[in-house]
Chains A and B, each alone.
Chain A
Amino acid sequence: MNMVNIKINNKDVKVAKGTSILNAAKEVGITIPNLCYHPDQEVKANCRVCVVEVEGARTLQASCATEVKEGMVIRTNTQKVRQSRKVVIELLLANHDMDCTSCKKNNQCDLQEIAANIGVRESRFENVLVKQEIDTSSSSIERNPNKCIRCGRCIQMCSEVQGLAILDYVGRGGSVDVKPAFGMYLNNAACVACGQCSVVCPVAAITEKEDIEQVWEAINNPNITVVVQTAPAVRVSLGEEFGLEPGKIVTGKLVASLRALGFDKIFDTDFTADLTIIEEGHELLKRLSDGGTLPMLTSCCPGWVNFIEQYYPELLPHLSSCKSPQQMFGALVKGYYAEKIGKKPKDVYSVSIMPCTAKKFEAKREEMSVDGENLDVDIVLTTRELAKMLRQAGVDFTILEEEEYDTPFGLSSGAGVIFGATGGVMEAALRTVYEVVTGKTLENLDFMAVRGLEGIKEAKVDLDGTIVKVAVAHSLSKAKQIMELIKEGKADYSFIEIMCCPGGCIGGGGQPFGGTDELRIKRTNAIYEADKGLPIRKSHENPAVSELYKEFLIEPLGEKSHHLLHTKYVNRKK
């Protein structure tokens, strides 16, 4: 590697050519505060918090945007730098709703943290905030313009990664805002509620719609049985909220913490992930043998379902009719489990813990009610909201003893776990489809070709002579590419897995704030590690699933399945 010699605060340092001053300083243990910079995004250099002194330069330089050069002399803590940083932060605070103590992101806000770190106690400038309406129109995310610092991270996420460009800068000068076209409400814009904007927002301008209080009420109502399901990706990210190392698998603590909060039954969405594989696998085989619409597209991701309904409704026949694991779970809770425990559906409160904001919208779709009266999933909480509940209840997550899920929906296979990462649904399906079709035992369970963070992945699988071509895409800009291929008739795949968020659910819009590719990789590795550690790694070998078919569902794609586990879609083109 080409190295250059530089001096940072009088210390000689050797760093790789092309490194930004910001990252070079990080390598030698100096954190330069920054707000608009995001390691996975194009450099914006607009917040001007990260300025440093570079010898010979007329002005201070944004360290995020300036590459090191041989012989460069950098100072990160001079009076000039300290003063500029302070003024910049004070300027931001002077156009910011300063209700920090009651803010949703109190103690989780980058602006607040930097202000504290660099010693800003109050802004010396007059507060000029013109209060605007908070957009609560979406059932998934909330946009509070009074908190926005115009850093543009959400804009880049929405346009570059998701290819949607719902948000952009509007106006200029002091009146610049970040909002949807015409200032419309999010629920009128073609937003898919993925919540990726909220993950990258450094302040509380975009957050999840908070639904914690309803859950507390249910837990504290003695007449109601509160059932909770936990999505696969939550177990590899929740620990981060409590200072545990990213990528730590905290399944047992997760279960224990939910019990500590007072949930009556703690189940695993992985169970219905296994169920999804059985139903979806058979749907695929049916389409293959009956000449059904191909390629078949997965349907477990609600952000993605919103996307195809809004942007490519003409391709809806490709979408699997299977409900997502969350909604299959909800349907089983209200349409099977309630009766089993001698309760009416309305007396069983169904909560799900999801890495996702779009799941909140999905749960509210009117067709997601098996009795037509009660929602199958009453409330969806994100990983972040669960962490908040635990803090509210004073549960010390780090010292909890590990506990086990309840029966009957607590048992799952490794195939169910990997649903949480891009390629996981595909891999889980292939493990089952292979054995169902060939009748042989699959020797190597790891389909490496569909794993990893590459945007679009392809694989060919030999099903005893029949070659099946599959593809996997994550993030909606990549989904768009696949949709265009299908429209042009160039997608010669049988089965395509699409997840809306970068990295899949482990990178979901409800995951801890500040997600980066670095974190996504750690969480992904943890997911596959969890898979490897399980005794059962194929969905069709999950005995609890077999039991459910035997006792209740009878057969995949059967009448009960049709009623409880499959759904229809709507053209929502805007």
Chain B
Amino acid sequence: MVIRVAAALTCLVIALVLRANGVGAIQLAIFAALAVVTVLLPASAAPALVIAFAAVVMVFADGHPLRLGVLLLIPLLHLVHITSALAAVVPVRAAVAVDALKAPARRFVIIQAIVLGLAAVARLLPDGPTPAPVEVLGLGACAVVLGIVALRI
């Protein structure tokens, strides 16, 4: 139950962030429905839809690509992913030991530190068209990361 409550609270905070960034009532209603299904059925496709919906709605809204709302969504969507993954394997009425959550929490902090560091670097980069060599380099880096991920799977 603790993990599902954490997932529900995270979804609530995401909804508040979306509302603060001018997302309409219809989109929020859709998000709320997906969030409810996520909490009730964490092993379904609902968590993926919650993450995708919130990310797409926020990204295609007006504003700077790295505005505060987007930066807040980075840890929140990651948290939805982790809590849903754990809730899918832990029964609702199970007593969860605090020690069992220490390793996922430590990993979460490390990953967020890396990502927020990248966000800081991206924020410092100048706006405008990207030089072709840098773009090719970036795509190559993406391909390498995706290749490593594919090997992991």
A binds B: no
Q: Which residues of A contact B (CB under 8 A)?
A: none
Q: Which residues of B contact A (CB under 8 A)?
A: none
